[in-house]
Amino acid sequence: MATLVARQGRHRQLYEDNRRLVSGCIPYRLRDGCEDCECNKEDSLEVLMVSSPNRHDLVFPKGGWENDETVHEAACREAFEEAGVKGNLNMTQLGVWEFRSKSRQAISSIEGGCRGYMFALEVTEEFETWPEQENHGRQWLNIREAFRLCRYEWMREALRAFLELMDTDRQQPKPTNNQLGRDPNVTLAAALMPDRQVAKTTPANRPLNSTAVIAIAFAIVTP
């Protein structure tokens, strides 16, 4: 049973260049009846957004990335805490956005600056209760409604990146967290420098066994 207690405080919060690091996701699902159809993505997909008290616009789940988790784990945690859903997180980053916290938007202040990492989450479980239910309602929307009701322009940009990723995934599926588990190569440094490659052990780096050596030698001498 999933815990219904949300994390509180910022004593584990990660920062970089005086910016609070934030991780979030766009939870999505296929609409009923669209599993095998050839609908365009705007008609076949629904995304889940959350509300805030005394506001009519909506946002995607997001929150502070903490020092005892990967950026992917933080995105999954926020999806459960704010929206009450779990699923398969696409490990491909939608992008990185810099913005200011709504509560600290003074341009002259270094406080309130945030750097947000966003991902796509295919929802497989939807819970009736969730940790931040009193503060965050949730609503499934089609893509057009999501663009219209989205509070922040940077989240609209993330939604556009999400649609591009869905097009790519139709041709070449990406690995998910359920397939890979926690990726030991996804570190704070790797996430902060997404354009740099993380060294990984690949089959090409491993020594050949004796069978492979014999096969290669046979291929060389055979006309």
User: How many angstroms separate the Cα of 49 from the Cα of each of 9, 150, 171?
Assistant: 23, 8, 27
- Is residue 5 one of the residues assigned to a domain? no
Q: Contact, 64 vs 19, CB < 8 A?
A: no
Q: What is the value of pTM for the model shown?
A: 0.71
In a domain, 9, yes or no: no
Domain for residue 200, yes or no? Answer: yes
Q: How many domains does the chain have?
A: 1
Residue 7 lies in a domain: no
Mean pLDDT for the chain? Answer: 78
Tell which residue, 39, 35, 37, 27, has the closest CA to residue 141.
Answer: 27
- Give the pLDDT score at 33: 65
Distance separating alpha carbons of residues 79 and 115, to the nearest angstrom: 18
Residue 106 in domain = yes
Q: What's 59's domain CATH number?
A: 3.90.79.10
Residue 8 lies in a domain: no
Question: Higher pLDDT residue, 159 or 182?
Answer: 159
Is residue 68 predicted with pLDDT exceeding 60? Answer: yes
Q: Residue 55 is part of which domain span?
A: 15-221
In this structure, is residue 36 part of a structural domain? yes
pLDDT at 207 (0 to 100): 44
Give CB contacts under 8 A, 24+ apart, made by 53-56: 53/135, 55/151, 56/149
> 222 versus 92: which is more confidently predicted?
92
In a domain, 37, yes or no: yes
